Structure 1
Amino acid sequence: MTVLVTGGAGFIGSALVRALLADGERVVNLDRLTYAGSRLNLGDADAAPGHVFVEGDVADATLLRRLFAEYRPRTVYHLAAETHVDRSIDGPLAFIRTNVDGTAVLLAEALHHWRALPEAEAGAFRLVAVSTDEVFGSLQPGGFFRPDSPYRPNSPYAASKAAADHLARAWHVTYGLPVIVTNCGNNYGPCQFPEKLIPLTVLNALEGRDLPVYGDGRQERDWIHVDDHVAGLRRAAAAGQPGAVYLLGAANVRSNLEIVHGICAALDRLRPDAAHAPHAGLIRHVADRPGHDRRYALDVTATAAALDWRAEIAFEDGLAATVAWYLENPDWVAAMSARYDRGRLGRKA
């Protein structure tokens, strides 16, 4: 089976591409290679016989039409997106272009492709639009998002992803395109760009930099290892119903402050002789950012029942392994850190 992955050189996309190639799939990987995307994330998979890398823009209709015609993918995973909340506050229009315009162009070209397929191939075709729990806004303490939760995005990033979700639904309802939408919590794992909370905290701690925490640090997020997320995406493509929405979470709700303390504890174990140990002494509370949602948490009961899927990686084990990965991959860290000033606070959390 040929699979088209947009954004396949990013954090989640590269994990998906690696998993697909490991199972013998042929993958056409479309990525614009912006600051957060790199072929380094693909590792040995970049040279795999079944991997076709195409540097290009998801908003390029001519390119997409050529890729659909040449490779005739049966499944499309749409992950190409700008994802960083702080950057969306500083420059929202880039998020509209990629997340909204890019999604609309992809849907239009996928529809053109799907309508021309023979009946059997058309029946098997799926487009999985990968989204975030941030489209639902902020929860009250103890609350959970469900597939029918109302959309209340509070940042330009979240609003752009909400728009993309609405477009995906419209293309299914209006045209019948077999689209599936997934909304996921915060991901963590190897190859995450250093502007995000976990890698930023690890790398700053190693250098004795301040570990900035927004506000009181009690904002809660539902964390899932990227490999569990990838497994959920693949299960949604294989067993999901067109037009359905699936929430992919791991029931690992933690406050940002808990995450930072957990990273510090892992570093204390792995680098007990570090000059900056105990690393928790580097934590600094800073002014909260605008529109900072207080809580995200996912009720995955319906998804688990519909897809026979659930996350398997225990958070404490996954976090420890993730911290160790950054310590064990200095070349990747150096290459990606050169693209980002880690002295700047900016990161999604």
Structure 2
Amino acid sequence: MSGGVSQGPAWADGKPVLVTGGAGFVGTNLADRIVRQGGTVIIYDNLSRAGVERNLAWLRRTHGSRIIAEVADIRDADRLAGAVARSGAVFHLAAQVAVTTSLTDPRTDFEVNALGTLNLLEAVRAQPLPPPVIFSSTNKVYGSLPDLALAEEGERYQPTDHAQAVGVGEGRPLDFHSPYGCSKGAADQYVVDYARSYGLKAAVFRMSCIYGPHQFGTEDQGWVAHFLLAALERKTVTLFGTGRQVRDILHVNDLVDAFVLGMANMDKLAGQACNIGGGADNAVSLRQVLDIIGRLDSRPVEVSYGPWRVGDQPWYVADSAKFRGLTGWEPAISATEGIEQLYWWLKSNRIDTAPDLPAAWSIPAVG
């Protein structure tokens, strides 16, 4: 982990750390790190996404009673308040995560992402000593970046103004696009304003594309893992648009480093939003990722093409200089190295359907 920690972990006080959406792939990796650093984690998750039951089973098998499972929905304000009341720090990752789903069911998208976040903030605000909060936002708050002039350079798009290739900074105006962008953007701004209006120690991470172990990606979300799974299962990958879209992918271990550093430096971060991504050094196009996978799998991935999707960004790279300056964080895992690691992890751990939870976990309430 990079330097810059100003104090010990927020879970050093012995109170559990609440991770909403904690059985998801990011939450699983974060919970694992927290427990390995001596903490206890409340996994608050409704287990609605395929594969998350397996993640929860792995956490319980690995860490036993240091993992407390609270199987509940972020829209259940009373259950959420009870979990917050027991917590010494909060990582808010629970979300409806797909642009496509938000377009077909915008009400549920809003209720989960915007109202769910308000439920959390109100629960935090109600505590005598409100725990610090880091919220997982998205680069989609910047919209589709239609003003960014791009040119095709081989298998990727690149800004024609090379000064912009360092990435998008937090000074870029917000431009919510798609119901998902609106719901996550509203939540993003609520977190920033609750820090400003109520003095909460709360910060926002606007994240790029995250990938790594415990991710069971789909066509709509988690595209690096989805590409890898398709290759392993000899399925065709559909590229929407040209496939030259660029993202600065970030390995989940580097993101967890950022979460830990962010919580330890909350006095500096409270009330701020920071871009978190792999940066220009880890910027790859969809086609380039497929080329890497083809070399790993010793055969090209079959590809078909579909129309551009609503709100898609032809090019997005995060400029994380603000967060680096505040915490000393730097990504350590290159795109090529990380994709290879995930390839071998998925080769050993891919699933067709998620198993049921053991009967002992069928009663979700705790405490």
TM-score, length-scaled by structure 2: 0.81
Tell me, yes or no, if structure 1 residue 46 matches structure 2 residue 60: yes
Tell me, yes or no, if structure 1 residue 90 matches structure 2 residue 104: yes
Aligned residues of 2:144 and 2:311 also touching (Cα < 8 A) = no
1:182 aligned counterpart, secondary structure: strand
| Letter aligned with residue 352 of structure 2 | A
Question: Cα deviations across residues 188-240 of structure 1 (Å, max 9, x unaligned)?
Answer: 11122331322222222233322211121111111000111111011111113
2:27 aligned counterpart, secondary structure: helix
Tell me, yes or no, if structure 1 residue 108 matches structure 2 residue 122: yes
Aligned residues of 1:136 and 1:150 also touching (Cα < 8 A) = yes
CA distance in 2 between partners of 1:60 and 1:84 (Å): 21
CA distance in 2 between partners of 1:134 and 1:267 (Å): 32
CA distance in 2 between partners of 1:101 and 1:147 (Å): 24
Question: Cα deviations across residues 155-214 of structure 1 (Å, max 9, x unaligned)?
Answer: 221221101011112211111111111111001111223313222222222333222111
Tell me which residue corresponds to 1:262.
Answer: 292
Aligned residues of 2:51 and 2:353 also touching (Cα < 8 A) = no
Any stretches of 5+ residues in structure 1 without a counterpart?
Answer: 269-277, 339-349
Quick one: higher RCO (CA 8 Å, sep 6+), 1 or 2?
2
Tell me which residue corresponds to 1:149.
Answer: 172
Tell me, yes or no, if structure 1 residue 210 matches structure 2 residue 224: no
Cα deviation for residue 149 of structure 1 reads 1.9
Tell me, yes or no, if structure 1 residue 170 matches structure 2 residue 186: no
1:34 aligned counterpart, secondary structure: coil
1:335 aligned counterpart, secondary structure: coil
Tell me, yes or no, if structure 1 residue 334 matches structure 2 residue 352: yes
Aligned residues of 1:211 and 1:284 also touching (Cα < 8 A) = yes
Note the aligned Cα RMSD (angstroms): 1.9
Identity of aligned residues (%): 29
CA distance in 2 between partners of 1:96 and 1:111 (Å): 21
From 304, 316, 322, give the equivalent of 1:284: 304
Tell me which residue corresponds to 1:272.
Answer: none
Tell me which residue corresponds to 1:223.
Answer: 249
Tell me, yes or no, if structure 1 residue 24 matches structure 2 residue 24: no
Cα deviation for residue 22 of structure 1 reads 1.4
Question: Cα deviations across residues 290-314 of structure 1 (Å, max 9, x unaligned)?
Answer: 3322111111112111111111111
Tell me which residue corresponds to 2:277.
Answer: 249
CA distance in 1 between partners of 2:312 and 2:349 (Å): 32
| Letter aligned with residue 20 of structure 2 | T
Cα deviation for residue 135 of structure 1 reads 0.8
| Letter aligned with residue 148 of structure 1 | G
| Letter aligned with residue 180 of structure 1 | A
CA distance in 1 between partners of 2:322 and 2:336 (Å): 25
1:305 aligned counterpart, secondary structure: helix
Cα deviation for residue 89 of structure 1 reads 2.1
Tell me which residue corresponds to 2:361.
Answer: none
CA distance in 2 between partners of 1:112 and 1:93 (Å): 27
Count the aligned residue pairs: 316
Tell me which residue corresponds to 1:11.
Answer: 25
| Letter aligned with residue 247 of structure 1 | N
Cα deviation for residue 64 of structure 1 reads 2.1
